Amino acid sequence: MSSFVPPRHHDVADDLRQQITTGRLQLGERLPSETALAERYAVSTVTLRHALAVLQGEGLLEKIHGKGNFVRRPLRKITYVGGWGTLDPWTAAAPSVRVTVRSATVQAPADLSALLSVPSGSPLAEFSCLSLEGESPRGLARIYMPPDLAPAGVLDDDFGSSREAAIRFAVLAPPPAAVRETVCARPPTPDEATALRIGSTRAVLAITRLATDAAGRVLEAALLAFPGDGVDAVFTAQHVTDERKTRG
């Protein structure tokens, strides 16, 4: 009876993991090139990349396109506050955190037309917001609304207070009557994996947020994604009293 032999990439990952946890590889240190590491461990580059992907999935390594693989600095968790939808004020205001915001007008694909209850191909205002701490992405938000509902000047390069809301990942539309959020943990889409610089096996916390007015019209749809090990989500439930019962 033959004994099980673990795949070679596990041995490589185990050795690199030990070097990281014991401090032989320092936080923020760039690893040798993939070719050099493959030669060092006498494995193929494919096997070496499998090992690196394991450590990237564990959050020990970060691959920066065009620069290489780096020992990942431990990041404090950010907090997403449900309801109006926002990053916690301390996180949003921290000097080390910056958010890039891009705005554009796009045509609604089928999934967004269904979310916003508009015909496919309808124009939508789109806001792409990427939160970074240093060089490490912390969260991604894509916010959509019909252009006629967008605040004045919101599609300009300088859109004032609305930019502050975008930086907080908050609701941009006029004050909604209701906000509905759907939360799940799932693998990242290819676009999310690229933007957040994470492996395809590392889970993201995905939030779909719909803001509606009193008539039920969708004012805004937001698609948010955070690396699952880097965020806490807080939702507060409020007890609503049925006025018909209290009056009786």
Whether 208 maps to a domain, the answer reads yes
**Rounded percentage of the chain residues whose pLDDT exceeds 70:** 83
Same domain, 67 and 87: no
Together in a domain, 93 and 161 = yes
Q: Which long-range contacts (CB under 8 A, 24 or more apart) does 105-112 make?
A: 105/147, 105/155, 106/144, 108/144, 112/144, 112/221
Q: What is the CATH number of the domain that holds 222?
A: 3.40.1410.10
- pLDDT, residue 239, reads 57
Dihedral in degrees, nearest 10, Cα atoms 127, 180, 234, 125: 0
Gyration radius of the chain's alpha carbons: 22
- Asked if residue 244 is part of any domain, the answer here is no
Q: Average per-residue pLDDT in the chain?
A: 82
Is the Cα dihedral 23, 51, 53, 5 positive or negative?
A: negative
Query: How open is the CA angle 187-110-153, to the nearest 5 degrees?
Result: 95
For residue 184, the model assigns a pLDDT of 95
Q: Cα 206 from chain centroid?
A: 7
Instruction: Say if residue 96 is in the same domain as residue 44.
Output: no
In a domain, 206, yes or no: yes
* Residue 3 counted as domain residue: no
Domain boundary among 71, 92, 125: 71
| 24 and 87 share one domain | no
Residues 42 and 100 in one domain: no
Identify the helix (H) or strand (E) that includes residue 4: none
Give me the pLDDT at residue 175, please: 85
Better pLDDT: 119 or 2:
119
- Both 155 and 219 in one domain: the answer is yes
pLDDT mean over 160-175: 77
Measured CA to CA, the distance from residue 208 to residue 214 in angstroms comes to: 20
Say if 202 falls within a structural domain. yes
Are the C-beta atoms of 224 and 209 separated by less than 8 Å? yes
In this structure, the answer to whether residues 176 and 98 fall within a common structural domain is: yes
Q: What is the pLDDT of residue 223?
A: 96
Q: Is residue 24 located within the same domain as residue 102?
A: no
Closest to 148 (Cα-Cα) out of 222, 86, 218, 209:
218
Q: What is the pLDDT of residues 52-81, one digit of tens each?
A: 988 887 778 888 878 889 998 666 778 888
User: Which of 120-124, 197-201, 202-206 shows the lowest per-residue confidence on average (mean pLDDT)?
Assistant: 197-201
Does the residue 203 lie in any domain?
yes
Q: How many domains does the chain have?
A: 2
Q: What pLDDT is recorded for position 30?
A: 92
For the segment 6-36, what is each residue's pLDDT rounded down to a tens digit? 568 889 999 999 898 888 898 889 999 999 9
Is 245 part of any domain?
A: no
pLDDT digits (tens, 9 = 90+) for 203-247: 899 999 999 999 999 999 999 999 887 888 888 876 555 554 545
Residue ending a domain, among 20, 50, 71, is 71
Q: Would you state the structure tokens that stand for residue 152, as one six-digit string?
A: 């004045």
- Which of 49, 71, 93 marks a domain boundary? 71
Is residue 95 pLDDT above 80, yes or no? no
Does one domain contain both 47 and 142? no
Which residue range(s) make up the domain with 148? 78-234
H helices of 123-168, in order, are 160-167
What residue has token string 């941009």?
172
Give, in order, the Cα–Cα distances in Å from 88 to each of 17, 59, 77, 79, 181.
32, 23, 11, 5, 17
39/41 Cα distance (integer angstroms): 6
Residue with tokens 């990439």: 9
Residues 183 and 134 in one domain: yes
Residues 124 and 172 in one domain: yes
CATH value at residue 57: 1.10.10.10
Q: Which of 225, 196, 240 is nearest to 72 (CA)?
A: 196
The verdict on 98 and 159 lying in the same domain is yes
Q: Which two tokens stand for residue 49?
A: 């990349």
